[in-house]
Amino acid sequence: MLMSVPVMRGDRLGVGVAKPLFELQAVPSDGWNYAVSADGQRILVARPTAAATTPITVVVNWTALLKP
């Protein structure tokens, strides 16, 4: 769940109550799978594709299968 929390600046840093924005599907990555625009008005989210969930078959020692 991606959450939004208001931040109040001043002499002391203050934070408000967290509010849910929307759910995110997990995407395998080495970092964040979303980015927020500088003005905080837009969010770009990387979503899994069909290709990411398609199984891959790996054949080990395939050259042995070529010999009669």
Determine the structural domain holding residue 24 and report its residue range: 2-66
State the pTM of this model. Answer: 0.51
Calculate what percentage of the chain has a pLDDT beyond 70.
81
Cite the DSSP H helix spans in 1-68. 50-53
Length of the chain: 68
| pLDDT category of residue 52 using cuts at 50, 70 and 90 | low
pLDDT band for 38, please (50, 70, 90 cuts).
very high
27 Cβ neighbours under 8 A, 6+ residues apart? 33, 46, 47, 48, 52
Q: How confident is the model at residue 15 (pLDDT cuts 50, 70, 90)?
A: very high
| Domain count across the chain | 1
Q: Residue 21 corresponds to which tokens in the numbers above?
A: 């924005």
Residue 24: what pLDDT?
78
